[in-house]
Amino acid sequence: MLRHHAWRAVLVGATLTASAAFGSGAASAAGAQSDVVACHADGYVCLTTNDLFEPTVSVAEGEDYAFFRATEVTSMSNDTAMTYCVDAEYGFKLSPGQSIEVTHTVTALTAAPDGNCLS
């Protein structure tokens, strides 16, 4: 049977191994929202979500996107020349070049070539 100090060494070693394998962010997977930064890609609207299966969504300029179910989005970046309408708990516009880092529950993103969003 391992002594108390031996167990501590085993646990510390396992923690360090996990940190090395998964990166330092793994230990704080539920980290602060301030750690989330909008992704950027020219010609795309990029959404960062809290969905484990789809953590980042990139929508090509002019395309629409609908989530399968309402999804918590933590940041959005519109790196296109087009306005997008965001269908969330309340509808709003995401203007060209605009980035936001506010959590919204989003269901769809619609291109608005004329810049108008009807709510």
Which pTM value belongs to this model? Answer: 0.68
Per-residue model confidence (pLDDT) at position 41? 87
CATH at residue 44: 2.60.20
Domain that holds residue 89: 35-112
Asked whether residue 105 is assigned to any structural domain, the reply reads yes
Q: What are phi and psi of 48, to 5 degrees?
A: -105, 125
Asked whether residue 50 is assigned to any structural domain, the reply reads yes
Per-residue model confidence (pLDDT) at position 84? 97
Q: What is the mean pLDDT of each successive set of 10 residues along the chain, which is 119 residues long?
A: 49 45 39 55 94 94 96 96 95 95 95 87
Q: What are phi and psi of 2, to 5 degrees?
A: -75, 145
Asked whether residue 15 is assigned to any structural domain, the reply reads no
Per-residue model confidence (pLDDT) at position 14? 46
Asked whether residue 4 is assigned to any structural domain, the reply reads no
Per-residue model confidence (pLDDT) at position 50? 94
CB 78 within 8 A of CB 98: yes
Asked whether residue 63 is assigned to any structural domain, the reply reads yes
Asked whether residue 19 is assigned to any structural domain, the reply reads no
Q: How many domains does the chain have?
A: 1
Asked whether residue 22 is assigned to any structural domain, the reply reads no
Per-residue model confidence (pLDDT) at position 76? 96
CB 12 within 8 A of CB 18: no
Per-residue model confidence (pLDDT) at position 112? 95
**DSSP letter at 79?**
-
Per-residue model confidence (pLDDT) at position 40? 86
Per-residue model confidence (pLDDT) at position 77? 96
Asked whether residue 24 is assigned to any structural domain, the reply reads no
Q: Compute the distance between CA of residue 12 and CA of residue 50 in angstroms, rounded to an integer.
A: 29
